[in-house]
């Protein structure tokens, strides 16, 4: 639409990045944290700080719990909004399916039970509406976790991870759609960024911090973007693919009759009933099925721990049990054996993946990261942080490039974007560290312990935005907002305080956790300390630079040609 292809791509890059960058920052940062979600869970729920244990006995430990699980009030509320008419009382709902899962990083076995409801869904495309109930089991003792511990907010899987993919906006799945749009925006930004970058190979390794802020910000933006390009592209692509069925529902919406026929044909072919028969049936020993599964995996020469047991149509004659391997040794997940619940005989074994399924499985596994490979986990974490750095420097470049011009013409644009950038970069870190600190300091018996932690998170973030707005007038005259430095000090202080609070409330200081080799907690503490150090260094240098420029406020004008590639 612009004069040349390159200019129209630059235009798209700038404005799409500006609009969606704020969301992307959240998605990439909390996605990076989610690489270590199980470890953050251990840090934030100290009662569960134990070594990971293999899958316990199903018959002895899991089976008695199934009948105890009741529909979760939050899930009842959620489903009530999705269906026509009122739901039956929770006691009258019948359990239909259940799943129980763990993995090599989890000292807990987690379980969900799906309850049938007779109501019709409001959305005719939803063919199954359920209400869920939850329980956790300690595999060391075989005991069910007490309700208060069960309901405790685990910050990794319970807060940061959902924030990463749906922003905790449940209404009409709005959060999923915003994240999806932002993910598409990331892909567009990567492609357009490559198109507009003229010296992609000549400046492959180039970062020139001494050449003025505009130049060095652009260098860092280009460098992180180019070096991490394959990672950033694949992680955005694979993330979008997870929800592609929701984003592009045209096959389900337009070809539902054909799909149902094919579903029935598949059930016929595999022997796995899609619907219950309505006749009652028993449940044979699941431990024996797991034994059978382990023996088959051993015969194939693959590591053979059980990752998940799923039972379809509980108590029905057509009920079946699917046992999946904890795929620690590969990227793709889902190697599953299916047994008849009544007889315990193998009905169906997933065939080797076709080419399409192999690619799909690799991309899915690349995003969920169930494998056992600590160096790779750290590499992916670093890749995610490089994505954050790329997005953050994109904002900074937008502001740096425009603030002088906006200052001369009294346009508030640069000032507004800078305040939003402060809130979405350093403010997000302030909120995260404040939440970790609150997690350790709020008394356990406080009513709404989980809600209070979330309040601390959201209010700390809101505070950082207000603080950034109040401190931003200097940007309007072409300077740098002192909010960056202030908030870097806050991050340093809060992160350090979180480490100390962890020590004070649990006794697990670094010397002991490192000494014992309990890396889930030691790792979180070490990352917090490293973050505190980096934030303090940044704050110190920002302060020193502010002191220098206040002497020579009219610093040498930066070369106008820089960033012309992004000139729009």
Partner 1 sequence: MPTLGRFAAAIAGGYVFTNGFVVSTTLTGFIFGLRYFEAQTLAWLLSVIVYLAAMLWAFAERRLARVWLVLGGGGLALCVGAWLLSRQLL
Partner 2 sequence: MSDGALTFLAFLMSLVGMGTLALSIEAHWRQVMGNRVRPARSRRRLRLAGAALLAIAFLPCAAADPVSMAALVWPMLLTVAAATVAASLTLHARFAVSPNRD
Q: Which residues bind partner 2 (CB under 8 A)?
A: 201-202, 204-211, 223-224, 227-228, 230-231, 329-332, 362, 366, 371, 373, 375-376, 379-380, 382-383, 386
Q: Which residues contact 267 (CB under 8 A, 6 or more apart)?
A: 273, 274
- Scored b (16 or more CB within 10 A) or e, 405-419 reads ebbeeeeebbbbbbb
Partner interacting with residue 211 (select from partner 1, partner 2, none; CB below 5-8 Å by kind): partner 2
Chain-centroid distance, C-alpha 275: 33
Closest approach of partner 1 to the CB of residue 357, in Å: 7
**Is residue 279 a contact partner of residue 316, using CB atoms and an 8 Å limit?**
yes
Q: In angstroms, how far is the first alpha carbon of the chain from the final one?
A: 12
Give the integer Cα–Cα distance in Å for 5 and 440.
53
- Scored b (16 or more CB within 10 A) or e, 493-514 reads bbbbbbbebbbeebebbeeebe
Partner interacting with residue 119 (select from partner 1, partner 2, none; CB below 5-8 Å by kind): none
Closest approach of partner 2 to the CB of residue 267, in Å: 30
CB closer to partner 2 out of 230 and 515: 230
CB closer to partner 2 out of 218 and 454: 218
Burial class (CB in 10 A: 0-12, 13-18, 19+), 200: middle
CB closer to partner 2 out of 362 and 463: 362
**Is residue 347 a contact partner of residue 338, using CB atoms and an 8 Å limit?**
yes
CB closer to partner 2 out of 386 and 488: 386
**Is residue 349 a contact partner of residue 341, using CB atoms and an 8 Å limit?**
no
Closest approach of partner 1 to the CB of residue 126, in Å: 17
CB closer to partner 2 out of 214 and 437: 214
Give the integer Cα–Cα distance in Å for 156 and 297.
31
- Copy the structure tokens of residue 353: 């993946």
Partner interacting with residue 202 (select from partner 1, partner 2, none; CB below 5-8 Å by kind): partner 2
Q: Which residues contact 538 (CB under 8 A, 6 or more apart)?
A: 485, 488
Partner interacting with residue 248 (select from partner 1, partner 2, none; CB below 5-8 Å by kind): partner 1
Q: What percent of the chain is helix, strand and coil (3-state, nearest 5)?
A: 60, 10, 30
Closest approach of partner 1 to the CB of residue 367, in Å: 13
Looking at residue 83, what DSSP letter applies?
Answer: B
Partner interacting with residue 332 (select from partner 1, partner 2, none; CB below 5-8 Å by kind): partner 2
Partner interacting with residue 296 (select from partner 1, partner 2, none; CB below 5-8 Å by kind): none
Beta strands in 399-468 (DSSP E): none
Partner interacting with residue 386 (select from partner 1, partner 2, none; CB below 5-8 Å by kind): partner 2
CB closer to partner 1 out of 261 and 446: 261
Partner interacting with residue 187 (select from partner 2, partner 1, none; CB below 5-8 Å by kind): partner 1
**Is residue 95 a contact partner of residue 114, using CB atoms and an 8 Å limit?**
yes
Closest approach of partner 1 to the CB of residue 388, in Å: 22
Chain-centroid distance, C-alpha 73: 24
- Interaction site with partner 1 (CB under 8 A): 1, 5, 8-9, 11-12, 15, 181, 184, 187-188, 191-192, 237, 240-241, 244-245, 247-251, 254-255, 257-259, 261-262, 265-266, 354, 356-357, 359-360, 363
CB closer to partner 2 out of 222 and 513: 222
CB closer to partner 2 out of 49 and 373: 373
Closest approach of partner 2 to the CB of residue 207, in Å: 5
């Amino acid at each position: 639409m612009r004069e040349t292809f390159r200019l129209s791509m630059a235009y798209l890059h700038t404005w799409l990045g500006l609009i969606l960058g704020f969301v992307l920052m959240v998605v990439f940062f909390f996605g990076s944290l989610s690489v270590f979600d199980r470890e953050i869970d251990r840090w934030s729920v100290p009662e569960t700080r134990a070594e990971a244990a293999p899958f316990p006995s199903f018959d002895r430990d899991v089976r008695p719990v199934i009948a105890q699980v009741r529909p979760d009030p939050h899930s009842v509320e959620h489903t009530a909004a999705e269906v026509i008419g009122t739901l039956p009382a929770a006691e009258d709902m019948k359990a239909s399916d259940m799943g129980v899962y763990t993995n090599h990083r989890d000292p807990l076995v987690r379980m969900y039970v799906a309850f049938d409801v007779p109501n019709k869904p409001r959305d005719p495309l939803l063919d199954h509406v359920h209400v869920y109930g939850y329980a956790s089991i300690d595999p060391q003792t075989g005991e069910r976790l007490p309700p208060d511990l069960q309901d405790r907010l685990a910050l990794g899987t319970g807060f940061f991870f959902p924030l990463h993919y749906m922003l905790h906006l449940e209404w009409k799945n709005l959060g999923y759609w915003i994240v999806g749009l932002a993910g598409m925006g990331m892909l567009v930004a990567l492609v357009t960024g490559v198109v507009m970058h003229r010296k992609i190979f000549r400046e492959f390794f180039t970062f020139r911090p001494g050449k003025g802020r505009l130049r060095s910000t652009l260098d860092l933006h280009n460098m992180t973007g180019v070096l991490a390009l394959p990672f950033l592209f694949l992680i955005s692509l694979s993330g979008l693919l997870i929800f592609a069925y929701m984003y592009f529902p045209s096959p389900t919406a337009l070809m539902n009759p054909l799909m149902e026929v094919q579903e029935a044909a598949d059930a016929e072919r595999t022997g796995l009933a899609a619907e219950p028969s309505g006749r009652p049936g028993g449940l044979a020993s699941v431990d024996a099925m797991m034994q059978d599964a382990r023996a088959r995996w051993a015969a194939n020469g693959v590591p053979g721990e059980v990752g998940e047991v799923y039972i379809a149509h509980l108590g029905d004659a057509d009920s079946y049990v699917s046992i999946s391997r904890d795929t620690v040794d590969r990227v793709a997940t889902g190697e599953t054996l299916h047994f008849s619940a009544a007889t315990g005989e193998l009905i169906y074994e997933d065939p080797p993946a076709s080419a399409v399924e192999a690619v799909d499985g690799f991309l899915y596994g690349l995003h969920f990261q169930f494998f056992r490979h600590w160096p790779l986990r750290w590499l992916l974490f670093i890749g995610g942080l490089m994505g954050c750095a790329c997005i953050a420097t994109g904002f900074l470049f937008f502001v740096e490039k425009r603030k002088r011009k906006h200052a001369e013409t009294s346009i508030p644009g640069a000032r507004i974007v800078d305040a939003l950038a402060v809130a979405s970069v350093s403010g997000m870190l302030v909120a995260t560290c404040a939440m970790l600190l609150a997690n350790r300091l709020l008394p356990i018996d406080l009513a709404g312990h989980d809600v209070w932690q979330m309040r601390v998170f959201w209010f700390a973030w809101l505070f950082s935005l207000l603080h950034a707005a109040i401190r931003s007038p200097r940007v309007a005259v072409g300077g740098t907002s002192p909010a960056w430095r202030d908030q870097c000090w806050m991050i340093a202080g809060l992160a350090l305080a979180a480490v100390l609070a962890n020590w004070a409330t649990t006794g697990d200081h670094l010397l002991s956790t490192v000494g014992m080799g309990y890396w889930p907690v030691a790792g979180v503490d070490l990352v917090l300390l490293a973050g505190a150090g980096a934030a303090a260094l940044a704050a110190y240098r920002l302060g020193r630079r502010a002191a220098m420029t206040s002497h020579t406020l009219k610093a040498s004008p930066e070369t106008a040609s820089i960033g012309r590639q992004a000139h729009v």
